[in-house]
Chains A and B, each alone.
Chain A
Amino acid sequence: MAKTSKAVRFDPADIKEELLKKYPPKVARKRAKQIMINEAQESETPPEIVANVRTIPGIITMRGCTYAGCKGVIMGPTRDIVNITHGPIGCGFYSWLTRRNQTDAGETGENYMTYCLSTDMQDQDIIFGGEKKLAAAIQEAYDLFHPKGICIFATCPVGLIGDDIHAVARKMKEKLGDCNVFAFSCEGYKGVSQSAGHHIANNQVFTHLVGENQTPPEGEYKINLLGEYNIGGDGFEIDRVLRKCGITNIATFSGNSTYAQFASAQHADLSAVMCHRSINYVADMLETKYGIPWIKVNFIGAEATAKSLRKIGQYFGDKALMDRIEAVIAEEMPEVEAVAADVRSRTEGKTAMLFVGGSRAHHYNELFQEMGMKTLSAGYEFGHRDDYEGREVIPHLTVDADSRNIEEIEVEADEKLYRARKTPEEIKALEDAGYKFKHYDGLNSDMDKGSIIIDDLNQYEAEKLVELLKPDIFCAGIKEKYSIQKLGVPMKQLHSYDSGGPYAGFKGAINFYKEIDRLVNSKVWSYMKAPWQENPELTATFVWE
Chain B
Amino acid sequence: MLLRHTPKEVAERKALAINPAKTCQPIGAMYAALGIHGCLPHSHGSQGCCAYHRSALTRHYKEPISAATSSFTEGASVFGGQANLLQAINNIFTVYEPEVIAVHTTCLSETIGDDLNQIFEKARREGKVPEGCTLVGAPTPSYVGSHVTGFSNMVKAMAQLAEPSGKKSGKVNIIPGWVEPADMAEIKRLATLVGVPVTVFPDTSGVLDAPLTGEYTMFPQGGVTIKELKASGDATATLAMGEWCSADAARWLDAKCKVPCTVLDMPFGLAATDRFIDVLRTVAGVTVPDAVAVERGQLVDLISDMHQYLYGKRVALWGDPDQLISMCEFLVSLDMQPVYVVTGTPGKKFEERIREICAGRPFEVKVKAKGDMFLMHQWIKNEPVDLLMGNSYGKYIARDEDIPLLRWGFPILDRQGHQYFPTVGYRGGLRLLEKMLDQFLDRKDRDDPETSFELVL
Residues of A within 8 A of B (CB): 1, 22-24, 27, 54-68, 84, 87-98, 107-108, 110-112, 114-123, 125-126, 133-134, 136-137, 139-141, 143-145, 155-157, 159-161, 187-192, 194, 401-402, 405, 459-460, 463, 477-479, 481-488, 527-529
Contact = CB atoms under 8 A, between A and B. Distances in A.
Closest 6 pairs (CB-CB, A-B): A65-B48, A90-B24, A58-B88, A58-B91, A136-B15, A88-B142
B15 A157 contact: no
B7 A24 contact: no
A91 B52 contact: yes
B85 A528 contact: no
A112 B20 contact: no
22 contacts: A1-B214, A84-B16, A93-B24, A94-B23, A94-B52, A95-B52, A111-B5, A112-B5, A119-B17, A123-B144, A136-B15, A140-B15, A155-B107, A156-B106, A156-B108, A159-B77, A160-B111, A192-B73, A194-B48, A401-B74, A405-B74, A482-B62
A88 B107 contact: yes
B17 A189 contact: no
Given A68-B51, A126-B111, A140-B14, A110 B85 contact: no
B13 interface: yes
Contacts of A27: 91, 95
Interface stretch (B53-61, B194-202, B258-266): B53-61
Interface stretch (B63-71, B248-256, B309-317): B63-71
B416 interface: no
B141 A123 contact: yes
Contacts, number: 263
B304 interface: no
Contacts of B95: 22-24, 27, 58-59, 460
A24 B97 CA distance: 13
Given A98-B55, A133-B15, A108 B64 contact: no
B210 A486 contact: yes
Contact of B69 (A61, A143, A192): A61
A56 B87 contact: yes
Contacts of A133: 15
Contacts of A189: 46, 72-74, 76-77, 108
Nearest to A141: B16
Contact of B214 (A140, A401, A487): A487
Interface size class of B (residues with CB under 8 A): 35 or more
A439 B5 CA distance: 43
A58 B51 contact: no
Given A27-B91, A61-B47, A89-B17, A483 B64 contact: yes
Contacts of B48: 64-68, 91, 188, 194
Nearest to A533: B213
Nearest to B42: A58
Contact of A136 (B4, B16, B71, B212): B16
Contacts of B69: 55, 57-58, 60-61
Interface of B: 1-5, 7, 11, 13-20, 22-27, 42, 45-49, 51-56, 58-59, 62-77, 84-85, 87-92, 94-96, 106-108, 111-112, 141-144, 146, 210, 212-218, 344, 374, 393, 396
B73 A402 contact: yes
A187 B111 CA distance: 13
B142 A90 contact: yes
Given A56-B87, A61-B69, A157-B143, A144 B111 contact: no
A190 B74 contact: yes
Given A58-B90, A485-B212, A122 B4 contact: no
A115 B212 contact: no
Contacts of B54: 479
A115 B16 contact: no
B419 to A, nearest CB: 12
A133 B13 CA distance: 11
Contacts of A143: 11
A57 B16 contact: no
Contact of B52 (A62, A90, A402): A90
Given A89-B23, A116-B19, A482-B62, A57 B75 contact: no
Contacts of B14: 136, 140
B84 A57 contact: yes
B3 A115 contact: yes
Contacts of A66: 48
A402 B74 contact: yes
Contacts of A460: 95-96
B22 A89 contact: yes
Contacts of A108: 4
Given A23-B95, A57-B91, A144-B5, A118 B20 contact: yes
A121 B17 CA distance: 10
A486 B215 contact: yes
Contact of A161 (B27, B67, B68, B111): B111
A177 B65 CA distance: 47
Contacts of B96: 60, 460
A143 B141 CA distance: 31
A116 B58 CA distance: 21
A94 B55 contact: yes
A118 B107 CA distance: 15
A110 B25 CA distance: 33
Contact of A116 (B20, B51, B141, B217): B20
A55 B374 CA distance: 38
B220 to A, nearest CB: 10
Nearest to A477: B55
Contact of A88 (B51, B58, B143): B143
Contacts of B213: 486, 528-529
A144 B20 CA distance: 16
A97 B392 CA distance: 11
